[in-house]
Structure 1
Amino acid sequence: MSLRSRLAILFGLLALVVSAIVGAASYQATRSEVSESTDRFLESRAIEVTRGIREQPGNPPLRPNRANTNDLGNGANGANGANGANGANGAIDDAATLLPRLPFDPDAIVQVIDRDGVVLSSGSNELPITDAVERLIVERPRPGESAPDRYDDVEIDGTSYRMYTRALQGGGAIQVARSTTENDAVLSVLVSRIAIIGLIAAVLAAFAGWWIARRTTRPLRRLADVAATVADTRDFSIDVPVGRPDEIGQLAGSFREMLTALETSREQQHRLVLDAGHELRTPLTSLRANVEMLQRIDSRPDAALTPEDRRELLHAINSEVGELSNLFTELMELATDSHDADATMEAVDLAEVVSRSVERWQRRVDRQISLNAESVMVSGNEAMIERAVTNVLGNAHKFSPPGEPIDVVVRDGSVSVRDRGPGVAVADRARVFDRFYRADATRTMPGSGLGLAIVAQIVERHGGETWVAESEHGGADVGFRLPTI
């Protein structure tokens, strides 16, 4: 599955979840508000009926209670056979006391119950009297007290109703019920609309996610095409489009830098192979010439080598073999970067490292080396720094006249090796640390041309810098500087 499809699905699912959460919250809030509105209506209707503002349906027009026309249940209990509806029983129950007939709205069922649970008046349907309602009937709130009441959800003839029951002061209760069909219909429509809105939002979000992903991944596709082209053609010089300040632009820039580094590395490897072949050709040619000479002498019975010629020939062969051995070692050092592998950087006293290298070099050659070193701490690898110092000393020894001393100065994180040789021409100083580079004046001298290149690589690994200048004695001043700590 492509990234665009994944983002489209993710955006759609996210919009669907958000719509579901918002819809559930809206549904719950609407349901609560509708329920509270119904409850307020029922309570208001019950109070209006008890106070005579509205007529209670289904009752004969009896005499209203003059003592208290504001609340059912406060009628007189005296005997009045002439006016009573039941003749024999002259006492009129408080709950049966009627108000003047007022306009009646058929939007609710109103029912009055006496203290014995007998329905005195009712609307179109008779409301159920539950156990909780029976317990409420016997309640007789005192004047000024809040009348006990309760809400119930009941079902009448298959229709759901919300029923409100309120106790009367003289005993009995008034019940008001209203169908919840309309509320249920409103909530059902709300659920349908929320579902439709959620689906539409999910579809739109998925399309938006696909469109955003398409625009976002367009530069990534270009980078993928570039990578595929590089993999097919091995052409690291191909142009990489950047032109963006965001993370994708940074990725493109890093990709371009990587290709540039790969191109540089390939060029260096190609140049290394060519230069190594050139450097190997000279000692191999000399060895071949010497071996052919030995073969010719060996093939002629009358030919013989004088002891002096034999010594010169063996010395030449040994010299060329040594040159090949040194060249091979330095090629391995430079090509495999063995001095960089798993190098541990730690605090190193540069003066101590240089002092050991100078002592070891003095034991190897018959030359005076003066050392002027000040203790300074640098962060680096001790073995790598010793290798760099040794190569610089070897370079100075090669170009110094016999018997002339070499001066070494260590100060402020720098190592300066000064000889008394011919020096380095200004035009050649910029390339002294290149691989296999030799000035015209030194092409006939022994050496691989890799010693100072290894120095430059080690110093670069340590974050330092190299230099070539003229010494105070007219020779070369070659050295490097490392960051101090």
Structure 2
Amino acid sequence: MRGPVRRFRALPIRSRLALLVATAVAVAVAASALACWFVVRSTLTDSLDHTLQTNRVDGGRVLAEVRAGNCTAEPPAAQNIANPFKLTIEVVDAKGGSCTLVGSQKLVVTQDDIAVADGSSPEVLHNTTAEDGVEYRVLVSPLPGPGGGAVLVARPLSEVTDPLGTLAIVLAIVAGVGALGAGAAGLWVARTGLRPVDELTGAVEHVARTEDLTVRIPVEGEDEIARLSRSFNSMTAALASSRDRQAQLIADAGHELRTPLTSLRTNIELLARSEETGRAIPAGDRRALMASVKAQMTELASLIGDLQELARPDAAGPGPLKVVALHDIARAALERARLRGPELTVAADLRPWYVRAEPAALERAVVNVLDNAVKFSPPGGTVEVALHGGELSVRDHGPGIPAEELPHVFERFWRSPSARALPGSGLGLSIVARTVQQAGGSVALHPANGGGTRAVIILPGAPEPPPEPPPGPEAEPSAVVPDEGFHQP
């Protein structure tokens, strides 16, 4: 059984559809033909029975013929009466003896015939055979009078079987033609219905062969094929956009890496030339040179870390989400911000708020927002931080962001023309947007009243976690985990 199933599954879809349609139609036609054959057989048999009962012979006349010696034990070789229906009339006594009045063949006497002859059974209809093997339909009727006996009136069953044979041949021909026509129609329907699938297959093969993601399939209608075509078009458009973003990311990363690498190469070549020529670099210049190398190394490390963060696929999702205190994370980030801008005033109003997020990623995002505020604040300026009801706002009093640049601030590697001279990779706000979105929140930058920029992070709240039980008297002190968050010299 598995062999035919496997061979069937190995056929093309259109061949399978055509074969299934042909099989279904053939089964339906065969069932209809069989039902028709049985109905016709029943009708013809009932018609023959009705004819035998309607044209029954007179029992008194039969007895007269018997007394006159016209009923012979053996059928006469030839009879003078016309017998177009090959009628056979036979008389049976109560002991099973019989003689023939009409007919050229003697009928086989059965127990049903004897039962009618001896009076134990009423009139019956049944099939019987003659001595030559021909089948007959016989009506057995009792004879009048005290002597008993029965008369058998029979007609050949060929009146039923011959039309049924002809009907069977006709039905077989019709069923065969219908099955062939159904197969041809099924193949045509399969080819017509699967033409969009062929186009989709050709498009997929073209994309696989040429990597051309601009291919689009025309969409017509609202059926499943149209939905599949729309899904393919959406998939190729998404792949093309992803490839473009990937190419842009590589180009932007290469551009951003070129500057610190060029500076590092120049500084290292100066140090190497000094060693090779024996001409010492003045101490002040050497310190400045080493500080520049260290700064470029730090910038490279930060840029590579940002690239690794952004290269993590969105499908992988963030790390394990936990209920964390956003106010505590913001307070820790504020301490770092004060270290980076000791000449600035950082004013904070942090209300308790718990969120579900990845702690390290969320802390990095808040640090990045505060780092931008410190970077663009004027000397002696003020950075205002507030956390109320899930809204964390950071406001600086710097030059602000022009309105035409606001739509681009969260793009990768995008940097304002006024900020290109400042340190940074242009990835900080992109990381912020990604982290906040993964936590189910939103982030935006707005011009602040009176100048400067106001960054707003909105995160949905989470139930406050239960307090941890105090350690027992024998509990060992927990190890201090070093801070591995975002660092900048």
Cα deviations by residue, 1:49-93 (Å, 9 ceiling, x for unpaired): 2477xx65xx7569xxxxxxxxxxxxxxxxxxxxx769xxxxxxx
Q: Secondary structure at 2:208's aligned position in 1? A: helix
1:294 aligns with 2:302: no
TM-score norm. by structure 2 comes to 0.78
- One-letter amino acid matched to 2:302: N
Deviations 1:14-67 (A, max 9, x none): 21111111112222222222223323333334xx32477xx65xx7569xxxxx
Contact 1:469-1:478 within 8 A present in 2 as well: yes
Structure 2's unaligned 5+ residue stretches are 1-10, 70-80, 340-345, 463-489
1:407 partner amino acid: V
Matching residue within 164, 171, 176 for 2:139:
164
| Contact 2:22/2:183, CA 8 A, preserved across alignment | yes
Q: Which residue of 245, 251, 256 corresponds with 2:233? A: 256
* Cα separation, 2, equivalents of 1:376 and 1:361: 16
Query: Structure 1-normalised TM-score?
Result: 0.78
The yes-or-no answer on 1:441 pairing with 2:421 is no
| CA distance 1:233–1:157, shift in 2 (3 Å) | same
Percentage of pairs with the same residue: 34
Partner of 2:257: 280
CA distance in 2 between counterparts of 1:344 and 1:154 reads 92
Measure, in 2, the Cα distance between the counterparts of 1:293 and 1:437: 32
Give yes or no for the alignment of 1:407 onto 2:407: no
Shift of 1:342: 4.9
Letter of the aligned partner of 1:157 in structure 2? D
Counterparts in 2 of 1:111 and 1:390: CA distance versus 1, 3 Å: farther
Task: Give 1:21's aligned amino acid.
Answer: A
Closer/same/farther in 2, CA of residues 326 and 112 from structure 1, 3 Å limit: same
Equivalent in the alignment of 2:4 = none
Partner residue of 2:375?
398
Deviation of 1:188 after TM superposition, in Å, equals 1.0
Change (3 A) 1:152 1:453: same
CA distance in 1, matches of 2:57, 2:169: 38
Does residue 153 of the first structure (1) align with residue 128 of the second (2)? yes
The equivalent residue for 1:20 is 30
Equivalent-residue separation in structure 1 for 2:358 and 2:279 (angstroms): 60
1:299/1:104 CA distance change after superposition, 3 Å: closer
1:435: how far off? 0.6
Determine whether 1:8 maps to 2:8.
no
1:217 CA displacement: 2.0
* Conservation of the 8 A alpha-carbon contact between 1:397 and 1:406: no
Q: Distance in 1 between matches of 2:228 and 2:293?
A: 55
Pair 1:424-2:401 in alignment? yes
Shift of 1:128: 1.9
Q: Is 1:331 matched with 2:307? A: yes
CA contact (8 A) 1:459 1:466 kept: yes
Q: Go from structure 1 to structure 2 and tell me whether the alpha carbon gap of 1:381 and 1:50 turns closer, same or farther (over 3 Å shift).
A: farther
1:270 aligns with 2:270: no
Instruction: Answer yes or no: is the 8 Å Cα contact 1:369–1:406 preserved in 2.
Output: yes
What displacement does 1:441 show? 0.9
Measure, in 2, the Cα distance between the counterparts of 1:462 and 1:208.
57
Does structure 1 conserve the Cα–Cα contact (< 8 Å) formed by 2:91 and 2:99?
Answer: yes
Q: Which amino acid letter does the alignment assign opposite residue 196 of structure 1?
A: I
Q: Pick the aligned partner of 2:329 from 357, 374, 381.
A: 357
Deviations 1:214-241 (A, max 9, x none): 2122222222222233233322123432
Instruction: Mark the CA change 1:233 to 1:139 in structure 2 (over 3 Å): closer, same or farther.
Output: same
Secondary structure, in 3 states, of the residue corresponding to 1:128?
Answer: coil
SS at match of 2:278: coil
| Aligned partner (choices 189, 195, 198) of residue 218 of structure 1 | 195
Deviations 1:189-234 (A, max 9, x none): 1111111111111111111111112212222222222223323332
In 2, Cα distance between equivalents of 1:36 and 1:342 = 80
Q: Give, in whole Å, the separation in 1 of the partners of 2:17 and 2:439.
A: 45
Moved over 6 A (4+): 102-105
Q: Which residue of 2 aligns with 1:128?
A: 108
Quick one: structure 1 residues 238 and 17, their matched pair in 2 at CA, closer, same or farther if it must change by over 3 Å? same
1:8-407 matches, cutoff 5 A: 8-45=18-55, 48-50=56-58, 56=62, 106=85, 108-119=87-98, 122-124=101-103, 125-139=105-119, 147-168=122-143, 170=146, 171-306=148-283, 308-337=284-313, 340-343=315-318, 352-366=324-338, 368=346, 370-373=348-351, 375=353, 385-401=362-378, 404-407=382-385
SS of corresponding position for 2:393: strand
- Alpha-carbon distance in 1 for matches of 2:461, 2:152: 95
**273-282 vs 360-369, greater mean Cα deviation:** 360-369
**Helix, strand or coil at the partner of 2:316:** coil
- The one-letter code sitting in structure 2 at the alignment partner of 1:361 is A
Kindly tell me: are residues 191 and 328 of structure 1, through their superposed partners in 2, closer, same or farther at Cα, counting changes over 3 Å? Answer: same
Change (3 A) 1:30 1:372: farther
- CA shift, 1:469, in A, is 0.5
Offset of residue 106 of structure 1: 4.7
Give the direction of change, closer, same or farther, for the CA distance of 1:483–1:247 in structure 2 (3 Å limit): farther
Contact 1:139 1:148 in 2 (8 A): no
1:333 shift after superposition: 1.5
Deviation of the 1:245 alpha carbon: 2.4
Structure with larger Rg: 1
User: CA 1:7–1:310 in structure 2 vs 1: closer, same or farther (change >3 Å)?
Assistant: same
| Structure-2 change in CA distance of 1:391 and 1:138 (3 Å) | farther
Instruction: String of CA shifts for 1:109-145, please: whole Å, max 9, x gaps.
Output: 222323343436532133221233223322257xxxx
Q: Cα 1:436–1:37, aligned 2, differ >3 Å: closer, same or farther?
A: same
> 2:441 and 2:100 mapped to 1: Cα distance?
106
Amino acid in structure 2 at the alignment position of 1:341: A
Equivalents in 2 of 1:382, 1:18: separation in Å? 68
1:405 match: secondary structure: strand
Residue aligning to 1:66:
none
